[in-house]
Structure 1
Amino acid sequence: MDIDPLTGIAQALAALDAAGGGRSPESLTAGELLQVNAAFGALKRQVDAAFMPVAAEIARQSRAELGRDSLAKKQGFRTPVALIQATTGSSIGEAIKLVQVGEATAPRASLTGETLPPKHPHVAAAVAASTLSITSSHAIVRLLDRLAGRVDAAMLDDAERVLVRRAPGLRADELSRLLTHAEAELDPDGIAPRHEEQRAQRFLEIVERDGAIHLNAIYDIASGAPIKAFIDGRVSSTLLSNENRDDATRDERSVRQMRADALSDLCAHGIACDAVPTGVGAAIVVRVTLDELQSGVGAASIDGIETPVPVSTLRQLACDLGVIPWVMGGESEVLDWGRVKRSFTPAQKRAIAARDRGCACCGAPVAWTHVHHIEWWCHDGPTDLANGLLLCSACHHRLHDDGWEVRIDGVGTAATVWFLPPPWIDPDRAPRPSASQLCTLAA
């Protein structure tokens, strides 16, 4: 039985009060603070869920064909979004999300007056249950609407159900990765047209303003991949060097400053060179199936970049760049070393990256990660693929220092990585999925 929106808000308020929301934050224990934080999140979702149908009805009564009889215009506003924004104090973007998700999750009526289910029933159910935020709901609705004319309705319905189940608890960047992979999986034929559109929109502006040089640019994936690979390589080298330095010699630049300096150094090097350098300082690893490579149809992924590219684009990348095709277990490379070697080889890292896609914990780019032994080397852990895990430096230290455990189910690239928190974080030690699992539609 559905709960009345106001009843849901009242229950959320009661839960907040029970968690300690009526006390000063300074008096709360760490556990109580987390409970209050979760209760406030649930309350916000309940309030948004109750307001969305109101926003949708305001929009319905303010539609353009009503002219002067529009509800918004009668109140002195040009659009319903402006009315909602003014009365709630929200941004234009927030008001638009309320209206659009409200319309997408409201019951519909047929021409004969029969009540029809919402346009997006799974999103509507999750919003009503207070499990999905307005931001996540809007992102999912936009993706589904964009694909509606190109993807089978049954596939879209199944994708909606999976996305609604996976979205709660994801950060904005994690949700973005999930939706990017979902779009590529649902509409592989749309990858090439989108890529060509992005290529046509590429630009670079260089402006001197306020005593500084300002760069503003957009690149398509093929054009931007070598730039990102080079800069990520420089940043990764600096971060690795910092691990072996003390506070006196540590490089204190932010990652953004490291990126800026890397681009400047590259250009300074190019000016000083008499000829274009031919050495490959950074590799671009492209992952594609053999069938797709042979047919020239399909999508390829590039390490460190979430957006897929058409297989046909690989020819552009392969001409003058250090492109490494992913062929695991090639006859010239040994991928399992046992106890013979302590450090994982570059070939092993590329193989493990096919599974982890970056830091298995936080999703940082592959270039920022190193392969770490799941079973420590000092505890007789082998230098084998099954015992390797991609982690950035920060996550590596956090997992070891806090007592996390790692579990891998399956073998090869199809294996799944799980992180088991220590009892002081979660007494039940419920396994948490790796970052790569959060961006796939697979169950």
Structure 2
Amino acid sequence: MSNPRLAPLLEAIERLSDAWADAERGVDLSRGELLGAHRAVGEMQRCLDGLHAELAAAIAHESRPELGPEGLAKQHGYRSAAAMIAATTGGAHGDAKRLITVGQAAAPRTNLLGEALPAKYPALATALAAGEISVAAAAVIVALLERVRLKVGTVRVEEAERLLVERAAGMTLDDVRTLVARTEAWLDPDGVAPKEREARDRRSLTMFERDGSFHLNLQTDIAASAPIKAAIQAYVTATFQARITAPDPGAPDADHRTVAMIQADALAAICEHAIACDNGGMPATGATVVVRVNLDDLTAGLGTAVIDGSDQPVSITTCRRMAAGGGIIPVVLGSEGEILDWGREKRLFTRAQRLALVERDGGCAMCSLPPQMTKAHHLRWWQRDTGPTDLNNGVLLCESCHHRIHDNGWDIRIEGIGVAARVWLIPPPHVDPARTPRLGGRARYDIAA
């Protein structure tokens, strides 16, 4: 009888074998077979990593310091379990320590009497065993749960574990990090302000010239970075829009700068204008910094706020300070605002409507690029389907995702009303035959939703 622990891995191997059957006979894989093989390899990798984490935890247990020279790692000539695992895999010492940490968090335990206990994080253990999340994502989740465990209590940690594991399945590691950052603010809003102070105390800007180039290195807190990012990203977006409308984009003298080059040029242009402008103002780049906060939190001075384009929440104190500054728009949720649905008379989304879409979608509803790099698009085309210019018929998309939606058969459904609505991305049949809706926009990171 096969070990049920290996069942997910063996099933993934079988799916890969089926997908590769034609290739073994010398036939190229179709796109469907290629995607099937790709998914099977990904699932195999996650299952293998989960098993490896389990083994790493066992190796660490057999190499624990109290065993002295009788520890497994020292018997084989290594100073620690992590060093032994890294040498075996050919990987980094940090990767080996991550395997051990995740394995220990997901491994069954025993009490002082030798009685069996469930894993410290059972939902995480189940997801790892099924190949639903990667070890890298699990490590980010475990790190958060360990940080807040004593402060918020077991019940909140268990709730957070369940929600994080559920949301993390199918996410990239970068998206999981964003989800974890939002979850930490939800679990421990009082911990945001001290982290802000630490970040502000570490702020620095160094400048030097070397080999004919000027080098600049900036580190600052999230709030201070918001207008910098907004201005530079608006410049980059305007540059790419100019490329699209250029008479001959392929001409030898056309703009072929990389994004990094454009960002460097943006900073130089903004500074040139700042020192030349009589009134100290800045050019109208279309850049806007939006800080969103719940009315109850703002009134009570508790909780956190979120700056568009940033994964890290900020404290209410920082939110109030930013809202008092120029060029920054506070969006207070729960308060009464202006009418946002203008109907068909308006072809383009108004500034207020776009701000509301930013509040709902957080940026590109599909790939999460920041708001400054997106446009408001009609779900039902304004001319073709007489679609109205209102929130229920609008979505923020970057240029690439806009083409992907229309060219590849994706659908978008808005569920709910106004800024509290959810955006669902529905893949075409060739991507997912079941066409299972995928949560898009800001809601995908809203752990409290």
Q: TM-score, normalised by structure 2?
A: 0.91
- Do the aligned partners of residues 3 and 165 (structure 1) sit closer, same or farther apart at CA in structure 2, a change above 3 Å counting? farther
Within 5 Å, which residues of 2 pair with 1:18-97?
18-20=18-20, 23=23, 27-97=28-98
Which structure 1 residue ranges, 5 or more long, are not aligned? none
* 1:288-319 deviation digits (Å, cap 9, x = unpaired): 12222223222111111121111111343245
Query: For 1:346-397, what per-residue CA distance to the aligned partner results, in whole angstroms no more than 9, with x for missing partners?
Result: 1110011111111111111011111111110112111112211111111111
Match of 1:258 among 262, 281, 284: 262
Report the counterpart of residue 387 of structure 2 in structure 1. Answer: 381
Q: Distance in 2 between matches of 1:21 and 1:161?
A: 38
| Distance across 1 between alignment mates of 2:298 and 2:361 | 22
Say which is worse superposed, 129-138 or 44-53, in terms of deviation. 44-53
CA distance in 2 between counterparts of 1:426 and 1:230 reads 38
Post-superposition CA distance 1:39-77 (Å, at most 9, x none): 111222222222222211221222234433332223222
Whether 2:172 is the aligned partner of 1:178: answer no
Deviation per CA, 1:241-277: give whole Å up to 9, x if none: 3332342476432222221111122223334346633
1:301 match: 306
User: For 1:200-252, what per-residue CA distance to the aligned partner results, in whole angstroms no more than 9, with x for missing partners?
Assistant: 12222224345433333221112111211211221222233333234247643
Q: Give the aligned CA root-mean-square deviation in angstroms.
A: 2.5
Corresponding residue pairs, total:
443
The amino acid that maps onto 1:341 is K
Deviation at 1:101, TM superposition (A): 0.6
Query: How many Å separate the matches in 2 of 1:411 and 1:257?
Result: 41
Name the stretch that deviates more: 190-199 or 202-211: 202-211
Pair 1:438-2:444 in alignment: yes
CA distance in 2 between partners of 1:127 and 1:327 (Å): 39
Percent identity reads 45
**Aligned letter for 1:34?**
L
Alpha carbons of 1:2 and 1:228: their partners in 2 closer, same or farther (altered >3 Å)? farther
Give the distance between the partners of 2:246 and 2:448, measured in 1 at CA.
42
User: 2:433 & 2:115 partners in 1: Cα distance?
Assistant: 50
Show CA shifts across 1:9-39 (max 9, x none).
Answer: 4443233212216836972111111111111
2:357 touches 2:395 (CA, 8 Å); kept in 1? Answer: yes
Q: Deviations over 1:86-121 (max 9, x none)?
A: 111122232122111111111111111111111111
Task: Flag structure 2 segments of 5+ consecutive residues without an equivalent.
Answer: none
User: Does the aligned pair in 1 maintain the 2:192–2:315 contact within 8 Å?
Assistant: yes
Looking at structure 2, the residues matched to 288 and 218 of structure 1 have their Cα atoms a distance apart, in angstroms, of: 25
Alignment of 1:194-343 (within 5 A): 194-246=195-247, 247-248=249-250, 251-273=255-277, 276-277=280-281, 281=285, 282-326=287-331, 334-343=339-348
Q: Show the counterpart of 2:409.
A: 403
Matching of residue 392 in structure 1 with residue 398 in structure 2? yes
Q: Which residue of 2 aligns with 1:414?
A: 420
TM-score relative to the length of structure 1: 0.92
Indicate conservation of the 8 Å contact 1:174/1:438, yes or no. Answer: no
Tell whether the 8 Å contact from 2:22 to 2:29 is kept in structure 1 after alignment. no
Runs of 4 or more consecutive aligned structure 1 residues displaced over 6 Å after TM superposition: 328-332
Given residue 374 of structure 1, which amino acid in structure 2 is its aligned partner?
A: L
For residues 387 and 328 of structure 1, the distance between their equivalents in structure 2, rounded to whole angstroms, comes to 21
**Contact 1:226–1:321 at 8 Å: present in 2 too?**
no
What's the secondary structure of 2:232's corresponding residue? Answer: helix
Secondary structure of the 2:363 match is coil
